Structure 1
Amino acid sequence: MKVLVVDDEYLELEQLTYLVKRKYPYWEVYAAEDAAQAKKLAAVHPFKLAFIDIHLPGQSGLDLVHTLKQLHPMMTFIIITAYQDFEYAKRAIQLEVLDYLVKPLIESELDSALQKFIQKHPEALVKSSIIQEAIEYIHANYGQKISLYDIAEAIHVNPAYLSKRFTEETGMHFKDYVIHYRIEKAKELLIKRQDWSVARIAEETGFASQHHFSNSFRKYVGMTPTQYKEKYV
């Protein structure tokens, strides 16, 4: 998994990069000192998580979040700032920022933010190539009917073994992860494809019916697809 860290203060940048690498040594962590560097890196790397300082030269951190969300709608953001500013916090919430950390960084607060990320993206914990292949299959075929047996056959492993390893590495059962990923893609489409109906989005993301989609969406997100669209578009 690829992570982006953006901060114009060199020591802060080095510290955060070090802490993330120490906690998750199998993550690839990239550092940028300003918005321009960050955008160049994001153009070639599919980052899943970004730590962004609010105060950056050339472009504010929150404006950078907005820009990067257009490039990678499923990227997750954690904002870092030296100030506890309500207006910044309010806009961060509107941008669906995962968390808001205040400098100087407290390691326990960083741990808490990372745990929030992992709860939303359990695939971040995957280490083995077998489970990575399974997840890539889901990501490539989520719009179709897929089963554990389909994936096991595609990657040449025993279904029972795949099921056990999948749960061990992601902390989620296979079916739960498939629904989770479909919901995340649906959230992306609700924002990007405003001309599509809820029924169309349900079909495109692999749900058997609009009713099943709406019920699953409400369960995972806490609101209906229409309410989500009205809130974030």
Structure 2
Amino acid sequence: MYILLVDDEVLELEQLEYLMKPHFPYWTFYKATDATTALALANTHRFSIAFLDIQMPGKDGLTLGMDLKALYELDIIMVTAFQSFEYAQKSIRIGVSDYITKPIIESELIETLQKYHKWNAKSDSIQQAIHIIHQDYAEKLPLSTVAAQIHLSPTYLSKKFLEEMGIGFADYLNSYRLEMAKKMLENEPDASISAVADHTGFNSQHYFSSLFRKNFGMTPSAYRVQVEQTHRAGLQ
């Protein structure tokens, strides 16, 4: 899994990687000290998470976050030494996943990252499979296609995926598609439910809505209303 760390202080970058590496040993970290370098990396690698320092010379972390999201969907975690309501408001508006303050405390960082443990496969082959899912989830993506890309038999990949991830390939793919659908519902309020289903890899709106309700206890439309209400409350 590719992770982007951006901070104008090199020691801060080294510390962040040092704190995460023991807990996520199979993640690959890329570091940048400015927005220009970060965007160049993002155009070369598809990152799943970006940790962005808010205050940097030149383009700040919030602006960089918007630029990254314009490239593709990823989770953004803002990192700052300043606790500011204005920063929090802007973070909400650009769809930031989380917000942590410096000095970074290891226990708090790892607690923030608990939800990403499901991306922490043990072998290179399963890491590659997960990367392909995260990159191509919006396309038709049968197990056989992924297996061919990483030079494994479909049977072996299916068995190995379940063994390492504790969830089957198809279930993981649908779970990730649903998470991306949630983000689209949050960030694109004018997109129809049909468009959300289509853009996140589901064959039909009915199947998408049924699976969404089964997993989250509400329809996509109800979730969007909930998000809008929460957003308005956060800006008051």
TM-score (norm 2): 0.75
C-alpha distance after superposition, 1:36-69 (max 9, x if no partner): 2222222222111111111111122112111111
8 Å CA contact retained: 1:35, 1:59: yes
Aligned mates of 1:95, 1:223 — CA distance in 2:
24
Report runs of 4+ in structure 1 exceeding 6 Å deviation.
Answer: 191-196
Letter in 2 for 1:100: Y
> Residues 131-174 of structure 1, C-alpha deviation per residue, up to 9 Å, x if partnerless?
6347637964764484x5x4698555363x54442123223233
TM-score (norm 1): 0.76
Counterpart of 1:63, as a letter, is: T
| 1:170 aligns with one of 153, 165, 168 | 165
Matches of 1:36 and 1:55 in 2, distance apart? 15
Residue 222 of structure 1: CA displacement?
A: 6.3
Equivalent in the alignment of 1:103: 102
Q: Which residue of 1 aligns with 2:234?
A: none
CA–CA distance in structure 1, aligned partners of residues 41 and 131 of structure 2: 24
Per the alignment, residue 72 of structure 1 pairs with: 72
Deviation at residue 26 of structure 1 after TM alignment: 3.0
1:215 aligns with 2:214: no
Write out per-residue CA displacement over residues 83-141 of structure 1, whole angstroms, 9 at most, x where no aligned residue: 222332233233332221111110011111222233xxx34435242663476379647
Which secondary structure does the structure 2 equivalent of 1:23 belong to?
A: coil
The secondary structure found in structure 1 opposite 2:83 is coil
Does residue 132 of the first structure (1) align with residue 128 of the second (2)?
Answer: yes
Change in Cα spacing, 1:145 to 1:45, as seen in structure 2 (3 Å) is closer
Is the CA contact (8 Å cut-off) linking 2:46 and 2:135 kept in structure 1?
Answer: no
1:31-42 to structure 2, matched below 5 A, reads: 31-42=31-42
Match of residue 29 from structure 1: 29
Count matched residues: 225
CA distance in 2, matches of 1:196, 1:100: 27
> 1:213 is aligned with what amino acid?
F
Assess, with a 3 A threshold, how the Cα gap between structure 1 residues 104 and 40 changes in structure 2: closer, same or farther. same
5+ long unaligned stretches in structure 2: 232-236
Specify which structure has the bigger relative contact order, considering alpha-carbon pairs within 8 angstroms and separated by 6 or more residues. 2
Bigger drift between 212-221 and 82-91 goes to 212-221
User: Kindly tell me: are residues 191 and 81 of structure 1, through their superposed partners in 2, closer, same or farther at Cα, counting changes over 3 Å?
Assistant: closer
Equivalent AA in structure 2 for residue 103 of structure 1: K
Identity of aligned residues (%): 45
Residue in structure 1 matched with residue 113 of structure 2 by the alignment: 114
Partner Cα distance (1:94, 1:134) in 2:
28
SS of aligned partner of 2:21: helix
Q: CA separation in 2, counterparts of 1:34 and 1:153? A: 37
The answer to whether the 8 Å contact 1:137/1:151 transfers is no
Counterpart of 2:76, as a letter, is F
Output the aligned Cα RMSD.
Answer: 3.4
**What residue in structure 1 maps to residue 62 of structure 2?**
62
Decide whether aligned partners of structure 1 residues 126 and 187 sit closer, same or farther in structure 2, where only a CA change above 3 A counts. farther
Q: Structure 1's 28 and 167: CA in aligned 2 closer, same or farther, altered over 3 A?
A: same
